């Protein structure tokens, strides 16, 4: 609460200084209300949170309007609401503690003390610098010797950009008079080379109260003293004092032999050196494209060196390959960002969605520290929004319904991210009603999407149905869902990213939707396989193992080939038939690639295995009536293209 109050206080001071009236008035009333909450006068409840969220939205709009030079945001209604809320909070507090007999003398004494201080400050304006001070407060800045009213200002401890804040205070003083001198100098203020107080001389026809009020409105001002005040002894530099003085050539201490910069760090080898630098994301994209082309060239060099069979060349190519791999890892790591950068915007979305449909939702985020490629993270935000809104609208029941079912009235919605091999799994889980399979099946029958005699749906069939464009079981269309585009949008977007969607649901217990995404879209390690004279790539993320296809382990179940592997039954997918390649296998013993995704596995039969290779993924648009089993293409070391299998479409 203290941090929020401080932020609003800073906005108020800045906007008042810059003349943004709407922002200043709204932030002032918001600050007053937050101050009551901070002091315990106003309790935090649902109504207050709604008002604070609304105030934050309007404040953001008002700031954007002011920056653009417009004044088209009407804050008056919200200002009135905030003022009424603040007055309601202050009335009970005034009736409780301040009505006691003992509080009246204290209040009178406080008023008298403030009156005396004001009179003393006004009278001290005519005193000379040598006249003894009446105030016991101490200041560090020296009062400049110049004509005008002496004014001292103390900023709030820990003020960010205190030099800028001091400059704004001086500008506010110039608006009501003539600032004849300032200590420290403007240059020292800009460099933040001062403590939290400064002094100035002001020639003005305003009285002390007016001067104090004007300067306080600049923001982050803790105290204003008009008149002469005692000055403390100069403080030692805590940074310089903490550093040992360097030893000179004659064995003595030489305090000037090692210069320090503005941060107190050594100019030759600072103790507080900058550890990060901002880089435009487009530069990282360009680096990723370049390293991708370098990986392709590395594969070409490796093939050429193998044909030449020169030991020195082979060693040089191997060293180059290691360096390229290290460079690739560094570039990919520099693009990785934690998922909280997207996840942190969802609590507000869930809260607003739950409020709009009258539901109570406990929203939990797990695995915020898991990292994902920046380009991938930007793309995954919209699918998560669809899933969260669907869970709130379709999944979680109303409080009354949940009570009748023996559940707590507040539903639980969980968004989590975990590492799964070289991929990231993002899950959206709820403990709601689950998907009604019978209802989905009935709607699918009426739309002729399934056979009329089908009586049950597996999780995979269920996903394929609800992911169809326009398919929805909602009776009415709401602001959140019901138009049949949510799961469809999620499914298509994730598939386009080279990922997969998995759904698990139990009626009456809840639903879990899992998005499995590769860490990056650019470079993946793959297993190359040959079918006839064509080469295909299977991402190693989904490869469990490879075995030779023995005819004795192939069985037939319900007219379909299956592979018996260590007492596990795997469906057989013959890639030659899938890609419609003519002819028969080139060798007697075919090879099997066992692929898996989540709990599903399959046996992919190919002619031969070539080996593992890092490939650069190139996205492409599918041709009309083409196969939907490819997730991209790549260029091999010999310059030939190869298609990349989308394993999620095979399982």
Q: How far apart are CA 191 and CA 51, in angstroms?
A: 40
Looking at per-residue pLDDT, the higher value among 144 and 255 belongs to 144
Pairing of β 411-420 and β 361-366? parallel
Q: How far apart are CA 544 and CA 547, in angstroms?
A: 10
Residue 559 has what pLDDT?
Answer: 80
Question: Rounded mean pLDDT of 590-594?
Answer: 89
Catalytic residue at 28? no
Element (H, E) at 415: strand 411-420
CATH number of the domain residue 79 falls in? 1.20.120
Judgement on whether residues 442 and 536 belong to the same structural domain of the protein: no
Residue 169 has pLDDT above 90, yes or no: no
Percentages of the chain per state (helix, strand, coil), in multiples of 5: 40, 25, 35
Question: Rounded mean pLDDT of 593-619?
Answer: 84
What residues are paired with 557 via a beta bridge? 560
Judgement on whether residues 345 and 330 belong to the same structural domain of the protein: no
Across 496-519, b (16+ Cβ under 10 Å) vs e yields ebbbbbbbbbeeeebbbbbbbbbb
Q: How far apart are CA 466 and CA 469, in angstroms?
A: 8
Question: Rounded mean pLDDT of 636-647?
Answer: 82
Q: Which of 9, 28, 394, 542 is catalytic?
A: 9
Judgement on whether residues 533 and 548 belong to the same structural domain of the protein: yes
Question: Rounded mean pLDDT of 164-175?
Answer: 86
Looking at per-residue pLDDT, the higher value among 242 and 420 belongs to 420
Residue 349 has pLDDT above 70, yes or no: yes
What confidence category does residue 232 fall into, taking pLDDT thresholds of 50, 70 and 90? low
Catalytic residue at 390? yes
Classify the phi-psi angles of 335: left when phi > 0, otherwise alpha if psi is within -120 to 50, otherwise beta. Answer: alpha
109 located within any domain: no
Element (H, E) at 208: helix 208-216
303 located within any domain: yes
Residue 134 has what pLDDT?
Answer: 36
Q: How far apart are CA 333 and CA 522, in angstroms?
A: 13
Which two structure tokens, joined as six digits, stand for 626? Answer: 């083409």
H helices then E strands: how many in the chain?
Answer: 20, 22
What confidence category does residue 343 fall into, taking pLDDT thresholds of 50, 70 and 90? very high
User: Cis link prior to 380 (omega < 30° from 0)?
Assistant: no
**Sheet of strand 500-506, all strands in order from the earlier edge strand to the far edge:** 361-366, 411-420, 423-430, 510-518, 500-506
- DSSP helix/strand/coil, 354: helix
Judgement on whether residues 348 and 496 belong to the same structural domain of the protein: yes
- Overall pTM surpassing 0.75 (yes/no): no
Looking at per-residue pLDDT, the higher value among 126 and 511 belongs to 511
Q: Which structural domain, as residue segments, surrounds residue 315?
A: 282-335
Say if CB 224 and CB 155 are below 8 A apart: no
Residue 90 has what pLDDT?
Answer: 62
Judgement on whether residues 396 and 428 belong to the same structural domain of the protein: yes
Judgement on whether residues 429 and 483 belong to the same structural domain of the protein: yes
Judgement on whether residues 507 and 533 belong to the same structural domain of the protein: no
What residues are paired with 153 via a beta bridge? 198, 224
Instruction: Give tens-digit pLDDT for 171-195.
Output: 889 888 999 999 888 778 877 778 7
As a whole number, the mean pLDDT across the chain is: 78
Which two structure tokens, joined as six digits, stand for 224? Answer: 């204003």
Residue 560 has what pLDDT?
Answer: 86
Residue 621 has what pLDDT?
Answer: 65
Say if CB 429 and CB 523 are below 8 A apart: no
Say if CB 480 and CB 358 are below 8 A apart: no
265 located within any domain: no
What confidence category does residue 127 fall into, taking pLDDT thresholds of 50, 70 and 90? very low
232 located within any domain: no
Closest by alpha carbon to 55, among 67, 40, 73?
73
DSSP string, 94-142: HHHTTTSTTHHHHHHHHHHHHHHHHHHHHHGGGS-TTSPPS----BSSP
What confidence category does residue 273 fall into, taking pLDDT thresholds of 50, 70 and 90? low
Say if CB 33 and CB 85 are below 8 A apart: yes
Q: How far apart are CA 263 and CA 193, in angstroms?
A: 10
Q: How far apart are CA 142 and CA 184, in angstroms?
A: 8
Residue 203 has pLDDT above 60, yes or no: yes
Residue 133 has what pLDDT?
Answer: 37
Residue 122 has pLDDT above 50, yes or no: no
Instruction: Give tens-digit pLDDT for 142-156.
Output: 888 888 889 999 888
Residue 240 has pLDDT above 50, yes or no: no
Q: How far apart are CA 20 and CA 64, in angstroms?
A: 11
Residue 449 has pLDDT above 60, yes or no: yes
Say if CB 592 and CB 549 are below 8 A apart: yes
579 located within any domain: yes
Judgement on whether residues 481 and 556 belong to the same structural domain of the protein: no
615 located within any domain: yes
Residue 584 has pLDDT above 80, yes or no: no
Looking at per-residue pLDDT, the higher value among 303 and 495 belongs to 303
List all residues 6 or more positions away from 344 whose beta carbon is below 8 Å from its beta carbon: 368
Q: How far apart are CA 445 and CA 468, in angstroms?
A: 14
**With 0-12 CB in 10 A as exposed, 13-18 as middle and 19+ as buried, what is 129?**
exposed
487 located within any domain: yes
Which two structure tokens, joined as six digits, stand for 540? Answer: 């190693």
Across 103-112, b (16+ Cβ under 10 Å) vs e yields eeeeeeeeee
Say if CB 507 and CB 589 are below 8 A apart: no
Q: Which of 28, 29, 31, 386 is catalytic?
A: 31
24 located within any domain: yes
Q: Which of 29, 196, 379, 390 is catalytic?
A: 390
| Cα separation values, 576 from 19, 115, 207, 590, 622, Å | 73, 95, 93, 11, 20
Check residue 623 and report its DSSP letter.
P
Instruction: Give tens-digit pLDDT for 374-417.
Output: 878 888 888 999 999 989 988 899 999 999 999 999 999 999 99
Judgement on whether residues 172 and 81 belong to the same structural domain of the protein: no
Looking at per-residue pLDDT, the higher value among 420 and 46 belongs to 46
Report which listed range, 99-103, 108-112, 200-204, is most confident: 200-204
Q: What percent of the chain has pLDDT over 70?
A: 79
Min mean pLDDT across 222-236, 239-253, 486-500, 542-556 is at: 239-253
Which two structure tokens, joined as six digits, stand for 594? Answer: 């066992």
Dihedral sign from CA coordinates of 391, 395, 399, 403: negative
Q: How far apart are CA 354 and CA 402, in angstroms?
A: 15
| Cα separation values, 91 from 48, 49, 96, Å | 16, 20, 9
Say if CB 168 and CB 153 are below 8 A apart: no
Catalytic residue at 240? no
Residue 231 has what pLDDT?
Answer: 57
Counted domains in the chain: 5
Judgement on whether residues 120 and 176 belong to the same structural domain of the protein: yes
Q: What percent of the chain has pLDDT over 90?
A: 15
The residue among 518, 553, 574 that closes a domain is 518
Looking at per-residue pLDDT, the higher value among 359 and 469 belongs to 359
Judgement on whether residues 511 and 635 belong to the same structural domain of the protein: no
Q: How far apart are CA 64 and CA 280, in angstroms?
A: 24
List all residues 6 or more positions away from 346 whose beta carbon is below 8 Å from its beta carbon: 363, 365, 384, 385, 388, 415
Looking at per-residue pLDDT, the higher value among 556 and 110 belongs to 556
The residue among 518, 552, 567 that closes a domain is 518
What confidence category does residue 473 fall into, taking pLDDT thresholds of 50, 70 and 90? low
The full length of the chain comes to 651
Say if CB 76 and CB 62 are below 8 A apart: no
Question: Rounded mean pLDDT of 463-483?
Answer: 62
What confidence category does residue 268 fall into, taking pLDDT thresholds of 50, 70 and 90? very low
CATH number of the domain residue 157 falls in? 3.30.70.1110
Question: Rounded mean pLDDT of 426-440?
Answer: 89
Question: Rounded mean pLDDT of 348-374?
Answer: 91
DSSP string, 58-97: HHHHHHHHHHTT------HHHHHHHHHHHHHHHHHHHHHT
Check residue 614 and report its DSSP letter.
E
The residue among 226, 241, 262 that closes a domain is 226
What confidence category does residue 641 fall into, taking pLDDT thresholds of 50, 70 and 90? confident
Which two structure tokens, joined as six digits, stand for 482? Answer: 């019901």
Say if CB 470 and CB 476 are below 8 A apart: no
- DSSP helix/strand/coil, 296: helix
Judgement on whether residues 470 and 527 belong to the same structural domain of the protein: no
Closest by alpha carbon to 215, among 156, 270, 274, 152?
152
């Amino acid at each position: 609460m203290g941090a929020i109050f401080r932020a609003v206080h800073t906005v108020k001071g800045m906007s008042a200084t810059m003349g943004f009236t709407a922002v200043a008035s709204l932030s002032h009333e918001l600050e007053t209300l937050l101050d009551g909450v901070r002091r315990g006068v106003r309790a935090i409840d649902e109504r207050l949170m709604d008002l604070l969220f609304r105030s934050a939205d309007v404040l953001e709009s008002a700031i954007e309007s002011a920056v653009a030079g417009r004044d088209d945001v009407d804050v008056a209604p919200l200002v009135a609401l905030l003022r009424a809320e603040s007055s309601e909070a202050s009335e009970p507090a005034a009736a409780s503690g301040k009505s006691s007999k003992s509080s009246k003398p204290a209040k009178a004494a406080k008023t008298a003390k403030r009156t005396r201080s004001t009179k003393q400050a006004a009278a001290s304006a005519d005193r000379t610098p040598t006249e003894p001070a009446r105030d016991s407060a101490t200041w560090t800045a020296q009062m400049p010797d110049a004509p005008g009213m002496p004014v001292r200002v103390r900023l709030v401890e820990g003020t960010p950009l205190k030099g800028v804040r001091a400059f704004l205070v001086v500008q506010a003083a110039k608006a009501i008079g003539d600032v004849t001198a300032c200590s420290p100098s403007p240059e020292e203020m800009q460099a933040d080379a001062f403590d939290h107080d400064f002094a100035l001389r002001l020639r003005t026809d305003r009285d002390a109260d007016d001067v104090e009020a004007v300067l306080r409105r600049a923001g982050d001002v803790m105290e204003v003293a008009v008149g002469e005040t005692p000055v403390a002894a100069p403080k030692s530099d805590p940074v310089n004092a903490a550093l040992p003085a360097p030893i000179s050539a004659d064995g003595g201490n030489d305090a000037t032999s090692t210069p320090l910069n503005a941060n107190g760090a050594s100019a030759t080898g600072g103790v507080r050196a900058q550890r990060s630098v901002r880089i435009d994301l487009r530069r990282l994209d360009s680096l990723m494209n370049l390293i991708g082309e370098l990986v392709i060239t590395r594969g070409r060099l490796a093939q050429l060196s193998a044909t030449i069979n020169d030991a020195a060349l082979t060693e040089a190519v191997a060293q180059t390959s290691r360096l390229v791999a290290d460079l690739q890892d560094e570039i990919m790591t520099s693009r990785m960002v934690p998922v909280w950068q997207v996840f942190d915007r969802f609590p507000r979305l869930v809260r607003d969605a739950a409020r709009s449909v009258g539901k109570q939702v406990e929203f939990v985020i797990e695995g915020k520290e898991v990292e994902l490629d920046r380009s991938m993270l930007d793309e995954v935000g919209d699918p998560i929004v669809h899933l969260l809104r669907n869970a709130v609208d379709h999944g979680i029941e109303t409080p009354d319904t949940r009570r009748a079912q023996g559940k707590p009235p507040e539903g639980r919605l969980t968004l989590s991210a975990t590492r799964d091999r070289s991929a990231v799994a993002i899950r959206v889980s709820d403990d709601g009603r689950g998907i009604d399979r019978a209802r989905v099946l009935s709607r699918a029958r009426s739309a002729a999407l399934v056979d009329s005699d089908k009586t049950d749906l597996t999780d995979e069939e269920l996903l394929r149905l609800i992911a169809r464009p326009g398919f929805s079981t909602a009776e009415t269309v709401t602001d959140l869902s019901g138009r049949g585009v949510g799961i469809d949008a999620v499914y298509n977007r994730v598939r386009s990213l080279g990922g997969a969607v998995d759904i698990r649901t139990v009626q009456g217990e809840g639903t879990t939707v899992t998005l499995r995404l590769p860490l990056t879209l650019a470079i993946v390690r793959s297993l190359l396989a040959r079918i006839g004279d064509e080469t295909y790539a299977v991402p190693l993320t989904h490869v469990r193992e490879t075995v030779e296809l023995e005819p004795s382990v192939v069985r037939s179940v319900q007219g379909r080939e299956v592979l018996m592997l260590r007492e596990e039954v795997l469906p057989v997918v013959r890639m030659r038939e899938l890609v419609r390649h003519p002819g028969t296998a080139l060798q007697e013993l075919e090879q099997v690639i066992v692929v898996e995704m989540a709990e599903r596995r399959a046996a992919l039969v190919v002619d031969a295995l070539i080996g593992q290779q890092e490939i650069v993924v190139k996205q492409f648009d599918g041709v009309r009536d083409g196969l939907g089993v490819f997730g991209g293409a790549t260029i091999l070391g010999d310059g030939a293209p190869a298609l990349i299998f989308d394993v999620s479409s095979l399982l």
